[in-house]
A and B are shown apart, each in its own frame.
Chain A
Amino acid sequence: MKRVVLTLILLSGAVSAQTITKGGVLQLAVDQSPVGLDPHVATAFSTFAITQLIYEGLMTTDPSLKLRPQLATKYTKSEDGLKYVFTLRPGVKFQNGDAFTSADVVFSMDRVKNPKTASPLASRLSAVKDVVATGPLEVTFTLTKPFAPFLDQVASIDIVDHTYVAGGGDMQRKPVGTGPFMLKAWIPDTAVELAKNPKYWVKAQPYLDGLKYNIVPDASTRQLGLQSGTYQMLPNIDPSVATLLKATPQVDLLKSQDLAYTLLGMNTSRKPFNDPRVREALNYAINRPELVQAVYFGEAQPGGPIPPAIRAFATPTSGFSCYASNASKARDLLKQAGYPDGVNFNILTFSTIKTVSDTAQVLQAQLAKAGFKAKIDVQELGGFIQNWRNSNFDAFVSLNGGSVDPDGQLYRTVVSGGSTNVFKYADPAVDALLEQGRTTTSAAQRVRIYSKLQSVLACKGPAAFLAYGNLYTAVTKNVNGFVSSPTRSLSGLKTTWIAH
């Protein structure tokens, strides 16, 4: 009797589970060509979408934002937080057959740190004193001071083959990594083709034979291509496109929450935003739920300085008093600050991202009701970047990439003299909290510190944090097994398969 029941249970399991069909090339449509394929130098998203399938780091962030082992199987951290020892995975090979060892890890870290590489990732290793191979499959990192975001920041640096690079390999055009896919061809302005890595260390993966990133600049063309089946996946699409595709029968929408956010940044070194009361008044003047409806069609969440997706740290917006929109309170604060007749100022923005330019317009209307008279200056992207970097603005509206760790999210943006602190914001109390946040070894302590930081920055900080969009990836119904991630990572493609 028991045998019969057991067999029945097993049979029913087999019948209900879908069998994975391997093979096939997945056709994706993206809007831009990659800038180059060297993961240490080219960090634009169009490059990241491809290099993250070719390369791997010591650890990886899963869709629920937890760190998981990848090229490192485990790590130990010393009591004082100054030493990390990683044990590396044995039997891993690079796509050209070279064996993966600790020498490759040391080489990759050194390459990122080397000023000659001019790597944008160099600041991630600022707290690292040295990296030593303490065994063929063991690497020890020694830090100058405890650095709480260490694992997130360093673990995601892609590991390159030291023999290949030192031997003059062309990292920008001919990448060699340990990941599930390798570069097959890069046809400029047309497509980037990746093929399955037969030597990948997860024996059964990837399920697909290849990936083809078709470069299609026009949004309506990409959408029609998906509907007609010419393309099978559109990664990370606009909320307006997602709304249109919701009604399409042959398309599935996979949802996750974005770490990236829209913001209105203010120049705190000049009037009127040098006065924290004015900044607070601006926050009161903004109606975030209305903004979410108008710009994102409801497909977003208002948020504070830390993305709501980082549940462990983010304070709910109900905790910020200035998020309860109140135009008369705004006017009162302006009067107190010495602007009884309101303020005039410029908003710098650009038009290549629809949610950004729409946000600027909606804000202009909302702010006017509270006495903030804004003039929008839409610039071409190159011009915007230059003015943004040189702090040549009263205020700007833009989209900032978010980070998995609160320190990565906030530090360089609001610390005095931070590399992306274009607001020229300098608050010694905030600086002190930020330093504590990165050096504390206690997780509970960190939560308290960032909670305090959020309450300071949300209402009186140099930026009004607006909304975190819902991130959608559109796939045709026969594409299975892809899980989208707030980090916009496409590494879920290694377990994706196409049903026949």
Chain B
Amino acid sequence: MLRYSARRFVDLLVVLFGVSVLIFLMIRLIPGDAVQILLGANSEVTPAQIQVLRHKLGLDLPLLAQYSSWLGQTLRGHLGQSIWTGAPVTQEIFARLPITLELTVFPLLLAGLLAVPLGVFIAATHNSGTERLIRFLTIAGITTPAFWLGTLFIYLAFVLAPRWVTIGYVPFNTDPAGHLGRMALPVLALALPMLASLVRILRSSMLEVLNQDYIRTAQAKGLTRATVLYRHALRNAMVPFVTALGLQAGALFGGAIVVEQVFAIPGFGRLIVGAINERNYPLVQASILVVTAGFVLVNFIVDLLYAAIDPRVEYA
């Protein structure tokens, strides 16, 4: 087990290195230049001034020199400074990461925990009316974009409960009620489409499993319906479900950008999008590394979960 983990850790380092090179090149290959954007399209700036700023930011060095300098600094733990604010990049990222983590963990928990009983129930139900209704709802849920739901929720809240402040962000320590009030709707907006998708996945894998011989054996043995569904069928149907859960987590970890925009929440996703638009190279590079590490970590946990669910899976 330890050897397996160590190997996965080495894999993580290789992935991080590859991604760092890729993102370093990509962000510089997009047209547009950090300094030009900083100074704007309609200002009284002269080309000489642009040069001065470029030199100050080290952007006039050849690419390889810029990369090796960045790599050297990163390995020493200095991820650089934001081109726009001058603040250390780690400070910018870690100020916002907890907020996005809230927007990742809570929707996942909500969707994941609700999807299990719902998915099992739908798979086990033979009522075609309910089936059709649930199928319709899940498709509606999957195709509805989270940001549209978000704007809809804000509007509904404004109409039905005008005193409820649903926009913006306050830390939990400062104002617990205000914090929860503002996080409730974005979490819901993110959870619903995920719930729909997870229910569908669980339902189809449950249906496959329920057709198996061993399920008939279990029923013949006289076990209760609940035991058959949850102890035997569900466990076998979990693998695709857990995979989907892991992928959703990875996607959310990069920041539910559009939901953050709609609700004016200062999250990690907004930070990345802003940094890309500004061509804020150090911030983009560091952020992508963090997202990559997060994604790889989630995948690792998912793989460990497989081993927990399915005793046939073993890692050397």
| Alpha-carbon distance between A215 and B263 when the two chains are bound, in angstroms | 10
Contact A188 B266 (CB under 8 A): yes
| Alpha-carbon distance between A139 and B52 when the two chains are bound, in angstroms | 30
Contact A218 B264 (CB under 8 A): yes
> Chain B interface: which of A14-22, A233-241, A368-376, A385-393?
A385-393
Residue A216 interfacial (CB < 8 Å): yes
| Whole-angstrom distance between the Cβ of B225 and the nearest chain A Cβ | 47
Q: Which residues of A contact B47 (CB under 8 A)?
A: 419
Residue B165 interfacial (CB < 8 Å): yes
> Chain A interface: which of B26-34, B194-202, B228-236?
B26-34
- B168: nearest residue on chain A (CB-CB)? A214
| Whole-angstrom distance between the Cβ of B90 and the nearest chain A Cβ | 13
Contact B43 A43 (CB under 8 A): yes
Known: A384-B41, A387-B31, A419-B46. A218 touches B85 (CB 8 A): no
Residue A51 interfacial (CB < 8 Å): no
Residue B244 interfacial (CB < 8 Å): no
Q: Which residues of A contact B277 (CB under 8 A)?
A: 380-382
| Alpha-carbon distance between A36 and B280 when the two chains are bound, in angstroms | 14
Contact B165 A172 (CB under 8 A): no
What per-residue 1/0 map shows which CB atoms of B299-315 lie under 8 Å from chain A? Answer: 00000000000000000
Known: A216-B264, A382-B30, A386-B33. A420 touches B158 (CB 8 A): no
Known: A230-B165, A382-B32. A188 touches B95 (CB 8 A): yes
- Within B147-161, the residues touching A (CB, 8 Å) are 151, 154-155, 158
- A398: nearest residue on chain B (CB-CB)? B41
Contact B31 A118 (CB under 8 A): no
Residue from B45, B262, B279 within 8 A of A221 (CB atoms): B262
| Whole-angstrom distance between the Cβ of A469 and the nearest chain B Cβ | 16
Residue B296 interfacial (CB < 8 Å): no
Residue B271 interfacial (CB < 8 Å): yes
- A44: nearest residue on chain B (CB-CB)? B40
Residue from B32, B39, B162 within 8 A of A380 (CB atoms): B32
| Alpha-carbon distance between A225 and B43 when the two chains are bound, in angstroms | 32
Contact A218 B95 (CB under 8 A): no
Contact B31 A383 (CB under 8 A): yes
Residue A73 interfacial (CB < 8 Å): no
Known: A215-B264, A230-B165. A35 touches B84 (CB 8 A): yes
What per-residue 1/0 map shows which CB atoms of A383-414 lie under 8 Å from chain B? Answer: 11111110000000010110000000000100
Residue B38 interfacial (CB < 8 Å): yes
Residue A224 interfacial (CB < 8 Å): yes
- B37: nearest residue on chain A (CB-CB)? A382
Residue A335 interfacial (CB < 8 Å): no
- B264: nearest residue on chain A (CB-CB)? A216
Residue B42 interfacial (CB < 8 Å): yes
Number of contacts between A and B (CB, 8 Å)?
A: 134
Residue from A122, A216, A388 within 8 A of B41 (CB atoms): A388
Residue B203 interfacial (CB < 8 Å): no
Q: Which residues of A contact B158 (CB under 8 A)?
A: 224, 227-228
How big is the A interface, by class? 35 or more
Q: Which residues of B contact A383 (CB under 8 A)?
A: 30-32
Q: Which residues of B contact A228 (CB under 8 A)?
A: 158, 162
| Alpha-carbon distance between A401 and B92 when the two chains are bound, in angstroms | 31
Residue B253 interfacial (CB < 8 Å): no
- Within B254-297, the residues touching A (CB, 8 Å) are 261-264, 266-267, 270-271, 274, 277, 279
Contact A386 B44 (CB under 8 A): no
| Whole-angstrom distance between the Cβ of B152 and the nearest chain A Cβ | 10
| Alpha-carbon distance between A73 and B92 when the two chains are bound, in angstroms | 44
Contact B42 A400 (CB under 8 A): yes
Q: Which residues of A contact B279 (CB under 8 A)?
A: 382
Residue A163 interfacial (CB < 8 Å): no
Q: Which residues of B contact A400 (CB under 8 A)?
A: 42
What per-residue 1/0 map shows which CB atoms of B68-84 lie under 8 Å from chain A? Answer: 00000000000000001
Q: Which residues of A contact B56 (CB under 8 A)?
A: 118
Q: Which residues of B contact A44 (CB under 8 A)?
A: 40
Q: Which residues of A contact B52 (CB under 8 A)?
A: 115-116, 118
Contact A221 B31 (CB under 8 A): no
| Whole-angstrom distance between the Cβ of A357 and the nearest chain B Cβ | 15
Contact A36 B37 (CB under 8 A): no
| Alpha-carbon distance between A220 and B92 when the two chains are bound, in angstroms | 27
Contact A118 B37 (CB under 8 A): no
Residue A377 interfacial (CB < 8 Å): no
Contact B44 A401 (CB under 8 A): no
Contact A224 B31 (CB under 8 A): no
Q: Which residues of A contact B154 (CB under 8 A)?
A: 220-221, 224
Residue from B31, B37, B42, B49 within 8 A of A401 (CB atoms): B42
Residue B241 interfacial (CB < 8 Å): no
- Within A103-135, the residues touching B (CB, 8 Å) are 115-116, 118-124
Known: A218-B262, A228-B158, A420-B42. A190 touches B168 (CB 8 A): yes
Given pairs A172-B85, A382-B36, 20 additional interface contacts (CB within 8 A): A36-B84, A43-B39, A118-B56, A123-B46, A188-B266, A189-B266, A189-B267, A217-B261, A220-B151, A220-B154, A224-B158, A229-B162, A380-B30, A381-B37, A382-B33, A384-B41, A385-B36, A419-B44, A419-B47, A420-B43
A-B contact pairs, 30 of them (CB 8 A): A36-B86, A43-B39, A115-B52, A116-B52, A118-B49, A119-B49, A120-B44, A173-B86, A188-B87, A188-B92, A188-B266, A189-B270, A191-B168, A215-B264, A217-B261, A217-B264, A221-B151, A221-B263, A224-B155, A227-B158, A229-B162, A380-B30, A381-B41, A382-B30, A382-B277, A382-B279, A383-B31, A383-B32, A388-B41, A389-B36
Residues of A within 8 A of B (CB): 33, 35-36, 43-44, 115-116, 118-124, 172-173, 187-191, 214-218, 220-221, 224-225, 227-230, 379-389, 398, 400-401, 412, 419-420
6 tightest A-B CB contacts, nearest first: A382-B32, A189-B266, A216-B264, A383-B31, A120-B43, A118-B49
